[in-house]
Amino acid sequence: MVVDKKEEIDSESSEQVVNPWEVSVKDDGRIDYDKIIDKFGCQRLDESLIDRVQRLTSRQPHVFLRRGVFFAHRDFNEILDAYERGDKFYLYTGRGPSSESLHLGHLIPFMFTKYLQEAFKVPLVIQITDDEKCIWKNLEPKDSKRLGRENVKDIIACGFDVTKTFIFSDFDNVGGAFYKNMVKVGKCAMAIYGFSGEDSIAKISFPPVQAAPSFPSSFPDLFPGKEKLRCLIPCAIDQDPYFRMTRDVAPRLGYNKPALIESSFFPALRGKNGKMSASDPNSAIYVTDTAEDIKKKINGAVSGGQDNKDDQNKYGANLEEYGEGRMLTGEVKKRLTQVLTEMVEKHRRARAAVTDEMVEAFMAARPLPSMFE
Amino acid sequence: SPNYLLIFLVLQELEIDYSKYEHPPVLTVEAQAKYVSSSEGALSKNLFLKDKKHRYYIISAMVDTKVDMKVLSQRLGLGKGGIRMAPEEALGELLQVSLGCVTPFAVVNESARDVSLLLDKNFKNQARCIFHPLSNDVSISLNTAGLDKFLKSIGRDSVYVDLEANANPAVGKDQPPDLALYVPAASVVVPELSNKASSIQTPPTKNATSEIIKPVASAKPSKPAGNVNSVSANSVSLEFKNPEKFVEEILNRTSALLLSEAKGESVEALPGTLRKRLTSELTLLAIMYKNTAYTEGFHAGKNYKPYRL
The pLDDT tens digits for B143-198 are 988 999 888 887 788 889 888 886 555 566 666 778 888 888 777 776 654 444 44
CB-CB: which of A346, A350, A357 is closest to B295? A357
* Chain A interface includes B292 (CB < 8 A): yes
* CA separation, residue A171 to residues A143, A174, A274 (Å): 12, 6, 31
**Which of these, A278, A285, A270, A268, lies nearest to A343 by C-alpha position?**
A285
Q: From the CB of residue A371, how many other CB atoms can be counted at a distance below 10 Å?
A: 20
B175: left (phi over 0), alpha (psi -120 to 50) or beta: beta
Number of H helices, E strands in chain B: 9, 8
Residues near B58 by beta carbon (within 8 Å), at least 6 away in sequence: B46, B47, B48, B49, B95, B102, B103, B104, B106, B107, B115, B116, B117, B118
CB-CB: which of A118, A163, A346 is closest to B294? A163
* Chain B interface includes A228 (CB < 8 A): no
pLDDT band at A305 (very low <50, low <70, confident <90, very high): very low
Beta bridge partners of B44: B62
**Which of these, A351, A235, A359, lies nearest to A287 by C-alpha position?**
A351
Average pLDDT over residues A141-168: 92
For residue A248, what pLDDT is reported? 92
Residue of B295, B296, B302 to mutate when probing chain A, most A C-beta within 10 A: B295
User: What is the C-alpha separation between B185 and B192, in angstroms, rounded?
Assistant: 22
* Chain A interface includes B295 (CB < 8 A): yes
**Mean pLDDT lowest among A105-109, A285-289, B188-192:** B188-192
pLDDT band at B44 (very low <50, low <70, confident <90, very high): very high
User: What is the C-alpha separation between B54 and B37, in angstroms, rounded?
Assistant: 37
pLDDT band at A30 (very low <50, low <70, confident <90, very high): low
pLDDT band at A283 (very low <50, low <70, confident <90, very high): low
* Cα of A85 vs its chain's centroid, Å: 27
The maximal CA–CA distance of chain B, rounded, in angstroms, is 82
- Write the pLDDT tens digit of every residue in B85-129: 888 888 888 888 887 889 999 888 878 888 999 999 999 888 899
Query: Does the distance separating the beta carbons of B288 and A159 come in below 8 Å?
Result: yes
User: What is the C-alpha separation between A185 and A253, in angstroms, rounded?
Assistant: 8
- A355 contacts in B (CB within 8 Å)? 292, 295
* Chain B interface includes A336 (CB < 8 A): no
pLDDT band at A356 (very low <50, low <70, confident <90, very high): very high
Closest Cα in chain B to A361? B295
Residue of A115, A124, A162 to mutate when probing chain B, most B C-beta within 10 A: A162
* Chain B interface includes A163 (CB < 8 A): yes
- Write the pLDDT tens digit of every residue in B192-243: 544 444 434 344 444 433 333 333 333 344 333 333 333 443 444 677 888 9
Q: Three-state DSSP class for A71?
A: strand
The maximal CA–CA distance of chain A, rounded, in angstroms, is 58
CB-CB: which of B243, B281, B295 is closest to A361? B295
- B291 contacts in A (CB within 8 Å)? 156, 160-162, 358, 361-362
CB-CB: which of A162, A350, A358 is closest to B284? A350
Pick A242 or B115 by higher pLDDT: B115
Window 79-118 of A: residues touching B by CB (8 A cutoff) are 118
Pick A36 or A83 by higher pLDDT: A83
Query: Does the distance separating the beta carbons of B284 and A162 come in below 8 Å?
Result: no
The minimum CA-CA distance between A119 and chain B, rounded to whole Å, is: 10
The minimum CA-CA distance between A147 and chain B, rounded to whole Å, is: 21
For residue A196, what pLDDT is reported? 64
CB A124 within 8 A of CB A117: yes
Number of H helices, E strands in chain A: 17, 9
For residue A164, what pLDDT is reported? 95
pLDDT band at A307 (very low <50, low <70, confident <90, very high): very low
- B243 contacts in A (CB within 8 Å)? 161
Closest Cα in chain B to A346? B281
* A and B: number of Cβ contacts within 8 A: 47
- Write the pLDDT tens digit of every residue in B246-263: 999 898 888 888 877 776
Average pLDDT over residues B56-72: 89
* Chain A interface includes B240 (CB < 8 A): no
* Cα of B21 vs its chain's centroid, Å: 12
> How do strand B129-131 and strand B19-22 relate by DSSP bridges?
unpaired
Percent of chain B scoring above 90 in pLDDT = 15
* Chain B interface includes A353 (CB < 8 A): yes
Pick B186 or A263 by higher pLDDT: A263
User: What is the C-alpha separation between B264 and B286, in angstroms, rounded?
Assistant: 32
DSSP B194-213: S---STTTSPPPHHHHHHHH
**Which of these, B116, B123, B104, lies nearest to B163 by C-alpha position?**
B123
Window 260-289 of B: residues touching A by CB (8 A cutoff) are 281, 283-284, 287-288
Average pLDDT over residues A248-255: 94
Residue of B237, B242, B291 to mutate when probing chain A, most A C-beta within 10 A: B291
Average pLDDT over residues A266-275: 46
**Which of these, A340, A287, A319, lies nearest to A102 by C-alpha position?**
A287
Is A94 a residue whose pLDDT tops 80?
yes
Q: From the CB of residue A355, how many other CB atoms can be counted at a distance below 10 Å?
A: 16
* Chain A interface includes B293 (CB < 8 A): no
* Chain A interface includes B246 (CB < 8 A): no
The minimum CA-CA distance between B211 and chain A, rounded to whole Å, is: 21
CB-CB: which of A346, A358, A370 is closest to B292? A358
CB-CB: which of A159, A358, A370 is closest to B241? A370
Is A206 a residue whose pLDDT tops 80?
yes
pLDDT band at A199 (very low <50, low <70, confident <90, very high): confident
**Which of these, A238, A239, A228, lies nearest to A89 by C-alpha position?**
A228
- B296 contacts in A (CB within 8 Å)? 357
The minimum CA-CA distance between B157 and chain A, rounded to whole Å, is: 43
Average pLDDT over residues B72-83: 86
For residue A195, what pLDDT is reported? 58
Is A193 a residue whose pLDDT tops 90?
no
* Chain B interface includes A350 (CB < 8 A): yes
B24: left (phi over 0), alpha (psi -120 to 50) or beta: beta
User: What is the C-alpha separation between A63 and A69, in angstroms, rounded?
Assistant: 8
Pick B46 or A298 by higher pLDDT: B46
Closest Cα in chain A to B297? A361
Query: Average pLDDT over chain B, rounded to whole?
Result: 77
- A358 contacts in B (CB within 8 Å)? 291-292, 295
Pick A73 or A10 by higher pLDDT: A73
Query: Average pLDDT over chain A, rounded to whole?
Result: 80
User: What is the C-alpha separation between A297 and A280, in angstroms, rounded?
Assistant: 12
